[in-house]
Amino acid sequence: MLQVNNLTFQYKKKPVLKNISFTVKPGEHYSIIGESGSGKSTLLKLIYGTYDLKEGHIFWKDQEILGPKHKLIIGPEYMKYVAQEFDLMPFITVAENIGAYLSNFYPEEKQARINELLDVVELQAYAHTKAKELSGGQKQRVAIAKAIAKQPEVLLLDEPFSHIDNFKKQSLRRSLFKYLKEKQITCIVATHDKDDVLSFSDHMMVLHDTKIIAENTPAELYKNPENKLIASFFDEFNIIENYGIVYANQLKIVENSNLKATVKQSYFKGNYYLIEADLDGNIVFFEHDSNLEEGLNMCLSVLK
Ligand code: ADP
Ligand code: MG
């Protein structure tokens, strides 16, 4: 398994990560979440061996992952890293980019493998397009395909779908994560998108202020968010006296209760409306199946 022991790291004076320890089992899908600047990318880069460590150790199975002082080429051979700012060779085609790490010794196998990877990232139609002619999202998909071409044991993905539009994102996510599970590729994903995590991650951690402030399964953290930061990652929520953190979908209109609120605004959300209301001078949000007029008075109840 991947073992991160007591990692502390800083670029300059200010520490970015302090005493970070966690483990990821082989074949596991593990997510790192946190606000922008919380150190997600730094942690992935450290796992890849991009920087030398002054404090702490990282192991994959029984091998220590070492930084550039100890290694000529950055990155262990069993690991691939797709950076937030991925880079491709611009003047060769998508298929050639994806096959860049594959041996030319078995041309038929190489072509079959490239086709399989084009399917995973849904880029068959662009096989012969030059990388420089692709959109940001398409380039990101090529970078992912290239990283899994030689089937790494561990794949590090930094915000893997950040450049990909909503039309493609859902199906691509399912296709990629299913592929990685089938091949038992250990996958560590840095993200700020709950949809990358909820349906796919076995475990997740929350980075905040240089530390891991929570680590558990997505279901556990969703059901019992320990603080506002964790709740805000998952959904719209409220803090309600005597109840604590209450998601908008846990607050419902009832005949009578002592939570008396007045509608301020309704937001159409597709299969529901998000209602903004005034509850004793505080703004609360709840989900409702129809539009509600501003000024409407009603009673709310917490259904946890
Ligand atoms: P995230 O990926 O969660 O947005 P990063 O790991 O990119 O966060 O950054 C964490 C902190 O480290 C930020 O304060 C950022 O400004 C700083 N940082 C990131 N890369 C460098 C670098 N190469 N040199 C100096 N500071 C950096
Ligand atoms: Mg980042």
To test ligand 1's pocket by mutation, which of 18, 31, 33, 41 has the most ligand atoms within 8 angstroms of CB? 41
Is residue 34 within 6 Å of ligand 1 at its C-beta? Answer: yes
**Percent of the residues in the chain that have a pLDDT greater than 90, as a whole number:** 91
Q: 39: CA distance to ligand 2 center in Å?
A: 7
Residue 85 in contact with ligand 1 by CB distance below 6 A:
no
Residues 258 and 181 in one domain: no
Q: Say if residue 100 is in the same domain as residue 164.
A: yes
| CATH for 265 | 2.40.50.140
Residues 50 and 164 reside in one and the same domain: yes
Domain boundary among 201, 228, 255: 228
Distance CA 17, CA 10 (A): 7
For the Cβ of 16 lying below 6 angstroms from any atom of ligand 1, the answer is yes
Check whether 165 has a pLDDT greater than 90.
no
Same domain (yes/no): 214, 252: no
Whether residue 156 is found in the same domain as residue 254: no
**In the predicted model, is pLDDT for residue 192 greater than 80?**
yes
| C-beta of 107 in contact with ligand 1 (< 6 A) | no
- 203 with 245, same domain? no
Last residue of a domain, one of 213, 228, 243: 228
CATH number at residue 20: 3.40.50.300
Rounded distance between C-alpha atoms, residue 298 and residue 304, angstroms? 19
pLDDT digits (tens, 9 = 90+) for 135-159: 999 999 999 999 999 999 999 999 9
Residues 167 and 266 in one domain: no
- Of 175, 194, 228, the last residue of a domain is 228
Mean pLDDT over 169-180 rounds to 94
Residues 191, 272, single domain; the answer is no
Do 255 and 118 share a domain, yes or no? no
Check whether residue 208 and residue 286 sit in a common domain.
no
Residue 229 banded pLDDT, cuts 50, 70, 90: very high
Query: In the predicted model, what is the mean pLDDT of the chain?
Result: 95
Closest CA to 149 of 109, 196, 202, 197: 109
Does residue 86 carry a pLDDT above 80?
no
Cα distance between residue 88 and residue 107, in whole Å = 22
Confidence grade of residue 67 (pLDDT, cut at 50, 70, 90): very high
Do 167 and 292 have their domain in common?
Answer: no
Q: What are phi and psi of 245, to 5 degrees?
A: -75, 125
* pLDDT of amino acid 71: 86
Q: Which two tokens stand for residue 25?
A: 């089992």
> Region 242-261: what's the mean pLDDT?
95
Ligand 1 atom closest to the CA of 12, numbered from 1:
25
pLDDT of residue 180: 97
* d(C-alpha 202, C-alpha 71), whole Å: 32
Taking alpha carbons only, the member of 158, 156, 161 closest to residue 175 is 161
Our answer on whether the CB atom of 41 is closer than 6 Å to any ligand 1 atom is yes
Q: Which residue range forms the structural domain that includes residue 245?
A: 235-302
Task: Catalogue the long-range contacts made by 226-229 (C-beta closer than 8 Å, 24 or more residues apart).
Answer: 229/35
For the chain, how many structural domains are there in total? 2
Q: Given this model, what pLDDT does residue 155 score?
A: 98
40 CB near ligand 1 (under 6 Å)? yes
Say what the pLDDT of residue 167 is. Answer: 84
- Cα–Cα dist 147/155, whole Å: 8
> Buried (b) or exposed (e) across 8-45, using 16+ Cβ within 10 A?
ebeeeeebbbbebebebeeebbbbbbbeeebbbbbbbb
For residues 187 and 258, state if they share a domain.
no
DSSP 248: G
